[in-house]
């Protein structure tokens, strides 16, 4: 461990990624899983390193997607996001929120906290609590540093190395998998759902909105199939919906809101701007 500690954090990240790749290769050759299990704790990246990776990913995304810059839309998503942040568990990172012009029903977080919401998600939500539920779930991945853990599990370590060395990416999926985003485990998903339910509850949004949104998507897409990145690893199965409902049932009684008027105004603006729903 001492040999990869250098004064310059970025050099350390690079050395660490190269070591991870070497380790992954060795593990693959020997077929031994001991190294793989050991590597997560040995090579867990620091919040500062995660910030650097987040910056790299952010600049890749900046060059690959079309953002919505309309202030009504962007401010709305940021206001909902800030409300959730104020009621979420403590985090090493302060999330920033962006809106991507894409009809796919999706939202995703990158290392160190930036959260991207697709116009398709905004259009598909029946009320503000449903959109907030998906954002709060993504915040759960950020707060618990799931993509850093995914990276530490060696998944996509070679690609992550390329990312840090400034090489080009072929596709968004490749980019996202390189930082562990498509490698969330079932436990990661359950943990993010738990954080979402607790955060919605504290923010006064109806936490059952996470279940109703999952149920709607399940109805629309089935247990698998054409489901967006958000659900790629663990789709909204009946089991998942039931476990969200069980978490909601354990909460103390509360007055919840499911506002619609601001969302309707934003959905109308998206239509006017030509961002039709899928």
Spatial distance between the Cα atoms of 115 and 167, rounded to a whole number of angstroms: 23
Contact range with Zn ion by CB under 5 A, out of 44-52, 63-71, 184-192, 268-276: 184-192
Helix, strand, or coil here: 109? strand
Task: With CB under 5 A as the rule, give the number of residues binding Zn ion.
Answer: 2
- Closest to Zn ion by CB, 14 vs 149, is 149
- Closest to Zn ion by CB, 102 vs 147, is 147
- Strand 115-118 to strand 97-100: parallel, antiparallel, or no bridges (unpaired)? parallel
Shortest distance, position 189 Cβ to Zn ion, whole Å = 5
Q: Distance from CA of residue 88 to its chain's centroid?
A: 15
Active site residue 191: no
Catalytic annotation, pick one of 50, 128, 189, 193: 193
- Contacts of 245-253 with CB under 8 Å at 24 or more apart are 245/208, 245/211, 247/193, 247/194, 247/197, 247/207, 248/197, 248/207, 248/208, 248/211, 251/197, 251/201, 251/207
Active site residue 60: no
Contact range with Zn ion by CB under 5 A, out of 16-24, 113-121, 128-136, 190-198: 190-198
Query: Is the Cα dihedral 47, 167, 227, 134 positive or negative?
Result: positive
Catalytic annotation, pick one of 60, 127, 138, 191: 138
- Closest to Zn ion by CB, 60 vs 189, is 189
Site string for Zn ion, 192-231 (x = CB under 5 A): x---------------------------------------
The footprint of Zn ion (CB under 5 A) covers 189, 192
Catalytic residue positions, numbered: 138, 193
């Amino acid at each position: 461990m001492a040999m990869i500690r250098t004064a310059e954090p970025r050099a350390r990240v690079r050395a660490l990624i190269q070591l991870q790749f070497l380790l992954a290769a060795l593990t693959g050759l020997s077929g031994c899983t001991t190294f793989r299990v050991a590597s997560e704790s040995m090579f867990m990246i620091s919040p500062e390193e995660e910030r650097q990776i987040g910056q790299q990913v952010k600049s890749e995304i900046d060059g690959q997607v079309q953002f919505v810059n309309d202030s009504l839309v962007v401010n709305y998503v940021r206001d909902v996001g800030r409300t959730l942040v104020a009621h979420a568990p403590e985090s090493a990172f302060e999330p920033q929120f962006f809106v991507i012009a894409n009809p796919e029903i999706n939202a995703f977080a990158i290392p160190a906290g930036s959260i991207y919401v697709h116009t398709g998600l905004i259009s598909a939500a029946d009320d503000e609590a449903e959109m907030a539920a998906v954002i709060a779930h993504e915040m759960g991945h950020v707060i618990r540093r799931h993509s850093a853990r995914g990276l530490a599990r060696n998944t996509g370590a070679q690609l992550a190395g390329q990312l840090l060395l400034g090489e080009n990416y072929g596709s968004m999926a490749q980019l996202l998998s390189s930082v562990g985003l498509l490698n969330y485990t079932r436990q990661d998903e359950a943990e993010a759902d738990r954080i979402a339910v607790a955060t919605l509850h504290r923010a006064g949004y109806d936490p059952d909105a996470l279940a109703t949104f999952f149920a709607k998507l399940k109805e629309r897409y089935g247990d698998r199939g054409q489901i967006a990145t958000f659900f790629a690893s663990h789709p909204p199965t009946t089991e998942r919906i039931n476990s969200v409902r069980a978490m909601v049932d354990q909460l103390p009684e509360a007055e919840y809101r499911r506002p619609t008027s601001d969302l309707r105004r934003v959905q109308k603006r998206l239509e006017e701007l030509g961002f039709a729903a899928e």
